[in-house]
Structure 1
Amino acid sequence: MSSDPWGRVDETGTVYVRTADGEQVVGSWQAGSPEEALAYFERKYEGLVVEIGLLEKRVKTTDLSAKDAQAAIDHIREQVDAHHVVGDLDALRVRLDKLVELVEARREERKAQRAKQSDEARHAKEALVAEAEELSQSDQWRAAGERLRALVDTWKGLPRLDRKSDDELWHRFSHARSAFSKRRKQHFAQLDAQREEARKTKERLVSEAEALSNSTDWGVTAARYRELMSEWKAAGRAQREHEDDLWNRFRGAQDVFFAARSSVFAERDAEQSENLKLKEELAEEAEKLLPITDLKAARAAFRNVNERWEAIGHVPRDARPKVEGRMHAVERAIQEAEEAEWRRTNPEARARAEGLTGQLQAAVDKLRGQIEQARAQGNNARADKLQRELDGRQALLDQAQKGLQEFGG
């Protein structure tokens, strides 16, 4: 008979293993010595030890599910309970019990982790729904559309919730996207209608602009082109494929008209500049008549200058006041000379001047006689009074004589 601390072989070849509950039959060994029997069943025990060790490592270091881990534990426990090995079976049971506790702990840990992930996923999806619902009212069609597509990708990367919660949130999320798509579709449909209306309006404006391009009614046509431009801007944009072509035609028609007008105006400006030069020469000629010494000759010379002036066409508008002002100054000087000549040769005015002068002269002579008489009588007070009156009459007489001289008297 042979034995070791955990098992023995009796004389019949029966192999036993020692446990806390006493000896248990392992099996019968007839093929060799008892030592070989114990060695064989001990190797089987070591196999269980290795298997348990590997399972412990898998449970601790891999994502082995609790269900699969428990099935593996149960499988090993069946082998331990079958007593077909020799070794410390109680120690294996202890390790298996601890492994069960570890699996359960990992199960709870994963459950908590899943609950946390689910909670985070719920919050994340609720945030996506809230943002999608806000974006559904946006008018930033391109940016909002791109952001909604990005939200869908984010949603797909999140874990699913329980079916009810997930379906409810997805329904809100999908509804927000649909609402935005509907509004965007309506917007662009309306925009297409507006652009079609703008195209029709601009076709009409182009037709009128092209019809006016050969007009020579410069002022009226230029004003109408300004009105057409205002109408063009107010019409809004047509479809992209039409807008540039319409604009090129519209602008081309205007260019034809304004180029022709510019050419005519350039010729006119050159002519008016030459006219200005001629009128400035005539104004200088007229100014040489001043000061007027011979009214008749000055009047005839100015008439000749003025006739040549009238024969010259327009001058540039900004130069007109200055050059015309020079001619008007000479004309006023001649008019003032004519008025002075008229006053000097007026018979009625001359007669009135002569009468007034005679009356004043008689009064002065009378006063002188009275003064001489008063002084001869020694009445100096009367003489002084009369002298003061004489001084006043003499001043009036001097003024009247001066006026009479203007009449050549």
Structure 2
Amino acid sequence: MSSDPWGRVDETGTVYVRTADGEKVVGSWQAGSPEEALAYFERKYEGLVVEIGLLEKRVQTTDLSAKDAQAAIDHLREQVEAHHAVGDLDALRARLDKLVETVEARREERKVQRAKQSDEARHAKEALVVEAEELAQSDQWRAAGERLRSLVDTWKGLPRLDRKSDDELWHRFSHARSAFSKRRKAHFAQLDAQREDARKTKERLVAEAEALSGSTDWGPTAARYRDLMTEWKAAGRAQREHEDDLWNRFRGAQDVFFAARSSVFAERDAEQTENLKLKEELAEEAEKLLPITDLKAARAAFRSINERWEAIGHVPRDARPRVEGRMHTVDRALQDAEETEWRRTNPEARARAEGLTGQLQAAVDKLKGQIEQARAAGNTARAEKLEKELDGRQALLDQALKGLQEFGG
């Protein structure tokens, strides 16, 4: 008979393994010595040890599913429970039990993780739906369309939810995209109709512009071209393939007319430039009358200058306000001087001014007397009230006296 700490072989060749529940028969060995029998079944045990070690490593370091891990544990447990090995089978059972706990813990972790991922996916898809529904109302066709396509790609990258929730959210998401596409299609259909109307309108404007291009009725024709341009801008854009051609024809017709007009106006401009030079000389002569010291002489001189001015023809339009403004400044100075002289020599106005001044002076003197009486009587409140009234009358008197001085008095 042969034995070791975990098993033995009896005289009949039966091999036993020791467990916490007592000895268990491992098998029968007739082919050799008892030592060889124990060695053979010990190797069986070592094989189980290696397999359990590998499974422990897979469970800890790979993404082995709980289902596959449990199947592997059950397979190894069947081998351990079959008692076809000699060694510490109870230790192997304990390791397998611990592996079960580890797998269950991993299963719970993954369950929690899946629940978390599902919750995150739900919130992410709900956010995509909300954004898609907002974009469905947008008029930013290009940007909103590109963003909706981007949202579809994002949706495809998210995990699926339970079928009911996923289908409901997808229905809303798809409906929002369809609503946007329908609105965009209607918008561009309307835009196409508007562009067709614009094309017809612009063809009419081009025809009229081309008919006017040979006109020599410069003023009315130029005004009509301005009106045509206003109508052109109001018509909106035609289709791209027509817009440029219509514009080139429209602009070309105007260019023909305005080139002809410019040629005629160039001769007129030369004459008006000479007129401007003459009027600038007259304006300089008029400005030498300032400041006015002899009103009668200045008025006579200005009248002579003005007669010569009127005899000269037109000047360039852009120079007209400047040169006429210089003459107007001198004319205004003469008018102001005449008005000042008239006020100074007007006897009726002087009399009215003297009368008003006298009345105000009397009122001021009267108030001063009343103030002295009130203070003598100790009536401070009345005195202060009268002083405020005195300030107002005194201001009016000062103004009247200033006006009287303009009469030379």
- Cα deviations by residue, 1:297-343 (Å, 9 ceiling, x for unpaired): 99999999999999998776799999999999999999999999999
SS in 2 for 1:68: helix
1:249 positional shift: 1.1
Shift of the 376–230 alpha-carbon distance from structure 1 to 2, 3 Å rule, reads closer
1:294 positional shift: 26
Distance 2:169 2:260 in 1: 70
Shift of the 87–242 alpha-carbon distance from structure 1 to 2, 3 Å rule, reads same
- Cα deviations by residue, 1:30-53 (Å, 9 ceiling, x for unpaired): 111111110110010010011011
1:245 positional shift: 1.4
Shift of the 361–207 alpha-carbon distance from structure 1 to 2, 3 Å rule, reads closer
SS in 1 for 2:18: strand
Shift of the 202–350 alpha-carbon distance from structure 1 to 2, 3 Å rule, reads closer
Distance 1:103 1:372 in 2: 115
1:296 positional shift: 25
1:81 positional shift: 0.8
1:363 positional shift: 51
Shift of the 111–219 alpha-carbon distance from structure 1 to 2, 3 Å rule, reads same
Shift of the 372–151 alpha-carbon distance from structure 1 to 2, 3 Å rule, reads closer
Shift of the 38–202 alpha-carbon distance from structure 1 to 2, 3 Å rule, reads same
Distance 1:129 1:322 in 2: 67
- Cα deviations by residue, 1:204-263 (Å, 9 ceiling, x for unpaired): 111111111110000010000000000011011111111111111111111111110010
Unaligned runs of 5+ in 1: none
Shift of the 390–5 alpha-carbon distance from structure 1 to 2, 3 Å rule, reads closer
Shift of the 163–24 alpha-carbon distance from structure 1 to 2, 3 Å rule, reads same
- Cα deviations by residue, 1:339-384 (Å, 9 ceiling, x for unpaired): 9999999999999999999999999999999999999999999999
* Worse overlay, 394-403 or 159-168: 394-403
Shift of the 395–2 alpha-carbon distance from structure 1 to 2, 3 Å rule, reads closer
Distance 1:20 1:152 in 2: 62
Shift of the 130–45 alpha-carbon distance from structure 1 to 2, 3 Å rule, reads same
Distance 1:80 1:141 in 2: 70
TM-score (norm 1): 0.70
1:17 positional shift: 0.6
Identity of aligned residues (%): 92
Distance 1:8 1:147 in 2: 77
Answer yes or no: is 1:366 the counterpart of 2:355: no
Shift of the 241–307 alpha-carbon distance from structure 1 to 2, 3 Å rule, reads same
Shift of the 326–128 alpha-carbon distance from structure 1 to 2, 3 Å rule, reads closer
1:60 positional shift: 1.2
Shift of the 233–347 alpha-carbon distance from structure 1 to 2, 3 Å rule, reads closer
SS in 2 for 1:26: strand
Shift of the 389–151 alpha-carbon distance from structure 1 to 2, 3 Å rule, reads closer
SS in 2 for 1:11: coil
Distance 1:31 1:378 in 2: 152
Shift of the 404–51 alpha-carbon distance from structure 1 to 2, 3 Å rule, reads closer
* Worse overlay, 123-132 or 327-336: 327-336
Unaligned runs of 5+ in 2: none
Shift of the 162–357 alpha-carbon distance from structure 1 to 2, 3 Å rule, reads closer
* Worse overlay, 239-248 or 267-276: 267-276
- Cα deviations by residue, 1:44-93 (Å, 9 ceiling, x for unpaired): 00100110111111111111111111110110011111111001111111
Q: Which residue in 1 is equivalent to 2:236?
A: 236
Q: Cα RMSD between the aligned structures?
A: 15.7
- Cα deviations by residue, 1:133-154 (Å, 9 ceiling, x for unpaired): 0010001111111111110000
Shift of the 371–171 alpha-carbon distance from structure 1 to 2, 3 Å rule, reads closer
Shift of the 95–247 alpha-carbon distance from structure 1 to 2, 3 Å rule, reads same
1:268 positional shift: 2.3
Q: Which residue in 2 is equivalent to 1:271?
A: 271
Q: Which residue in 2 is equivalent to 1:138?
A: 138
Shift of the 294–17 alpha-carbon distance from structure 1 to 2, 3 Å rule, reads closer
Distance 2:76 2:183 in 1: 65
Distance 1:371 1:200 in 2: 89
Shift of the 335–147 alpha-carbon distance from structure 1 to 2, 3 Å rule, reads closer
* Worse overlay, 7-16 or 385-394: 385-394
* Worse overlay, 305-314 or 64-73: 305-314
Shift of the 336–9 alpha-carbon distance from structure 1 to 2, 3 Å rule, reads closer
1:277 positional shift: 8.5
Answer yes or no: is 1:147 the counterpart of 2:147: yes
Shift of the 249–89 alpha-carbon distance from structure 1 to 2, 3 Å rule, reads same
1:13 positional shift: 1.0
* Worse overlay, 360-369 or 43-52: 360-369
TM-score (norm 2): 0.70
1:269 positional shift: 2.6
Shift of the 349–229 alpha-carbon distance from structure 1 to 2, 3 Å rule, reads closer
* Worse overlay, 316-325 or 253-262: 316-325
Shift of the 136–316 alpha-carbon distance from structure 1 to 2, 3 Å rule, reads closer
Shift of the 11–231 alpha-carbon distance from structure 1 to 2, 3 Å rule, reads same
Shift of the 365–248 alpha-carbon distance from structure 1 to 2, 3 Å rule, reads closer
Larger radius of gyration: 1
* Worse overlay, 47-56 or 284-293: 284-293
SS in 1 for 2:105: helix
Shift of the 381–84 alpha-carbon distance from structure 1 to 2, 3 Å rule, reads closer
Q: Which residue in 2 is equivalent to 1:77?
A: 77
SS in 1 for 2:17: strand
- Cα deviations by residue, 1:2-29 (Å, 9 ceiling, x for unpaired): 0001000111111111111111111111
Shift of the 113–230 alpha-carbon distance from structure 1 to 2, 3 Å rule, reads same
Shift of the 260–398 alpha-carbon distance from structure 1 to 2, 3 Å rule, reads closer
Distance 2:132 2:351 in 1: 111
